[in-house]
């Protein structure tokens, strides 16, 4: 470190490393070990075991502190750090000379709770899941052999280069259409929604790839926006989401028809490898070739058999002549017994028909005679011929009881040989006892009288 100049002397000129070292010493002497609480962001673990991340102010203030935790201290952490977690760090402030940045070298880390951004992520996930946007039933299958894929991402993003490289290597026959959009910041969500709508409106791709490279929870927050999630869920085209790295999970991943861990994996899942397709095509071609060869061999054998049979036409002709003679003999003998059987059956049927007709005719004649006798017995004129008369009033209504008569009433009496008109001049009604006595005195009527009309 340069010495302090004497009064009036020229100030010393610091070297960069010396100035940073002096600043680091001043921080240590001023603060010493410190404890700080905040929200993890951009947490990564290097292959060496060292951890690098940022600590945001958990009250929402726009403040960010770079942090590093070396392998020895990281091995003592009893949980898996992740973006959005609220933690408390204990360590020392230092100046990272390579970049001239203030950083906290953490010696210990303890979990306090989830960060505000992560809590918002959980609340939004629960609400959209309850709305059915993540249901497995609504997810669609990707086309097995796409001809054109649409890629929704930023034109300058490394994710686009990864996708194009993977498709050129894996499926160079598949065309690619890029739908440009912003994938980060405030303008990210409406830009992504617009790109998805444009791809569906143009309908020139068989499937869509929504891709972006890795980043912190804040960097990927555009893919947790509700507008983006609903646009993915309502897309008419199948959509593969490849955002971030293997451990990054966004709401867009859950709403997509298929989630890929990386943009490169999204390209591999959306397009089948051409070499595999060519190998399968060769296998099918070989099977088809073998089937054609077997079919040609079978046809050739059949042709040889027919040629051998045609080589001896006399034998074939003799066999056909013998068969024709046998058929002619059967034809000559067949009609006689056939006709004889039918003649006998016809005679039996005729005899049965005559017997049935005679029997039915006799029954019909007897029935007609019985009906004629019953009809004669019921004829009213037969009753009148036995001396009875029919009495009726002027309207032609029959008078069967004395109660129907009145003094001076005109009546008409009808006999078998004529009729007469009269007027009631005297009316005598009998009581019930006298009527019964007269009925007992009268002779019992015959069956013919009982069936006749009232007189």
Q: Is there a domain that residue 238 lies in?
A: yes
Q: CA-to-CA distance for 282 and 33, rounded, in angstroms?
A: 69
* Res 232: pLDDT: 93
Domain boundary among 244, 272, 300: 272
Q: Please, are residues 54 and 66 in contact by the beta-carbon 8 Å criterion?
A: yes
Same-domain pairing of 21 and 108: yes
Q: Give the pLDDT of residue 438.
A: 57
**Segment 248-259, tens digit of pLDDT:** 788 999 999 999
- Bridge partners of residue 93, in order along the sequence: 104
99 in the same domain as 36: yes
Which of 308, 310, 287, 290 lies closest to 298 in space, CA to CA? 290
Assigned domain for 68 exists: yes
pLDDT tens digits for range 81-96: 888 888 899 999 988 8
Residue 300 included in any domain: no
The pLDDT score that the predictor gives to residue 308 is 73
CA dihedral 211, 195, 165, 255 (to 10 degrees): 30
* Residue 4 scores a pLDDT above 60: no
Yes or no: say if 185 and 220 are a contact pair by the CB < 8 Å rule: no
3-state secondary structure the chain: CCCCCCCCCCCCCCCHHHHHHHHHHHHHHHHCEEEEEEEEEEEEECCCCCEEEEEECCCCCCCEEEEEECHHHHCCCCCCCCCCEEEEEEEEEEEECCCCEEEEEEEEEEEEEECHHHHHHHHHHHHHHHCCCCCHHHCCCCCCCCCEEEEEECCCCHHHHHHHHHHHHHCCCCEEEEEECCCCCCCHHHHHHHHHHHHHHHCCCCEEEEEECCCCCCCCHHHHCHHHHHHHHCCCCCEEEEECCCCCCCHHHHHCCEECCCHHHHHHHHCCCHHHHHHHHHHHHHHHHHHHHHHHHHHHHHHHHHHHHHCCHHHHHHHHHHHHHHHHHHHHHCHHHHHHHHHHHHHHHHHHHHHHHHHHHHHHHHHHHHHHHHHHHCCHHHHHHCCCCEEEECCCCECCCHHHCCCCCEEEEECCCCEEEEECCCCCCCCHHHHHHHHHHCCCCCHHHHCCCCC
Answer yes or no: do 110 and 171 share one domain. no
% of the chain with per-residue pLDDT over 90: 23
In a domain, 299, yes or no: no
Highest mean pLDDT among 285-299, 335-349, 430-444: 285-299
pLDDT for residue 192: 94
Co-location of 257 and 179 in the same domain? yes
The pLDDT confidence band at residue 437, using thresholds 50, 70 and 90, is: low
Q: List the domain range (segments joined by +) for residue 408.
A: 380-450
Is 119 contained in some domain?
no
147 and 265, same structural domain?
A: yes
Burial of 343 (0-12, 13-18, 19+ CB in 10 A): exposed
Is 314 within a domain?
no
Decide: residue 394, CB within 10 A, 0-12 exposed, 13-18 middle, 19+ buried. Answer: exposed
**Is 264 part of a structural domain of the chain?**
yes
Q: Domain check: are 57 and 148 in the same one?
A: no
Identify whether residues 104 and 22 lie together within a single domain.
yes
Residue 230, pLDDT score: 93
Kindly tell me if the per-residue pLDDT of 415 is higher than 70: yes
More confident residue, 6 or 183: 183
Assess if residue 368 is contained within a domain: no
pTM above threshold 0.85: no
The count of structural domains within the chain is 3
Residue 113 pLDDT: 64
> Quick one: which of 187, 182, 177, 184 has its CA closest to 208?
177
Q: Which of 224, 247, 272 is the last residue of a domain?
A: 272
Looking at the fold, whether 106 and 213 belong to one and the same domain comes out as: no
Query: For position 84, which CATH number holds?
Result: 2.40.50.140
pLDDT of residue 446: 47
- 94, 165: one domain: no
Which pLDDT belongs to residue 307? 75
Q: What is the pLDDT of residue 177?
A: 93
Q: Are residues 153 and 80 in the same domain?
A: no
pLDDT band at 430 (very low <50, low <70, confident <90, very high): low
């Amino acid at each position: 470190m340069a010495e302090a100049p004497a009064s009036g002397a020229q100030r010393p000129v610091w070297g960069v490393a010396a100035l940073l070292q002096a600043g680091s010493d001043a921080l240590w002497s001023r603060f010493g070990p410190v404890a700080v609480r905040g929200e993890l962001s951009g947490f990564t673990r290097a292959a060496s075991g060292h951890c690098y991340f940022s600590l945001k102010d958990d009250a929402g203030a726009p403040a960010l502190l770079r942090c590093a935790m070396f392998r020895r201290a990281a091995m003592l952490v009893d949980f898996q750090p992740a973006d959005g977690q609220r933690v408390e760090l204990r360590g020392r402030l230092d100046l990272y000379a390579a970049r001239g940045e203030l950083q906290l070298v953490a010696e210990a880390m303890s979990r306090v709770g989830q960060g505000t951004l992560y809590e918002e992520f959980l609340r939004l996930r629960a609400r959209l899941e309850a709305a059915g946007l993540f249901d497995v039933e609504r997810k669609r299958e990707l086309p097995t052999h796409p001809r054109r894929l649409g890629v929704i991402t930023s034109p300058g993003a490394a994710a686009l280069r990864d996708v194009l490289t993977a498709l050129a290597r894996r499926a160079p026959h598949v065309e690619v259409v890029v739908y440009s959009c912003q994938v980060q910041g405030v303008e990210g969500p409406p830009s992504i929604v617009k790109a998805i709508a444009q791809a569906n409106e143009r309908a020139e791709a068989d499937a869509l790839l929504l891709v972006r490279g890795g980043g912190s929870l804040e960097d990927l927050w555009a893919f947790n926006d509700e507008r983006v999630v609903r646009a993915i869920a309502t897309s008419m085209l199948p959509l593969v989401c490849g955002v971030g790295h293997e451990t990054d999970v966004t709401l867009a991943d859950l709403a997509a028809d298929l989630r890929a861990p990386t943009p490169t994996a999204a390209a591999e899942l959306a397009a089948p490898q051409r070499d595999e397709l060519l190998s399968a095509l060769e296998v099918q071609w070989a099977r088809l070739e073998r089937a054609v060869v077997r079919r040609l061999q079978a046809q050739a054998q059949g042709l040889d058999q027919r040629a051998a049979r045609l080589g001896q036409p006399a034998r074939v002709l003799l066999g056909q002549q013998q068969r024709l003679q046998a058929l002619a003999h059967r034809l000559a003998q067949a009609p006689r017994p056939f006709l004889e059987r039918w003649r006998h059956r016809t005679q039996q049927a005729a005899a049965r028909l005559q017997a049935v007709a005679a029997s039915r005719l006799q029954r019909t004649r007897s029935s007609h005679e019985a009906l004629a006798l019953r009809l004669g017995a019921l004829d009213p004129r037969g009753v009148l011929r036995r001396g009875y008369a029919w009495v009726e009033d002027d309207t032609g209504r029959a008078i069967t009881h004395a109660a129907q008569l009145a003094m001076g009433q005109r009546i008409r009496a009808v006999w078998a040989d004529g009729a007469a008109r009269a007027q009631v001049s005297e009316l005598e009604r009998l009581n019930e006892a006298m009527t019964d006595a007269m009925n007992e005195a009268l002779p019992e009527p015959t069956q013919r009288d009982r069936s006749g009309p009232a007189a």
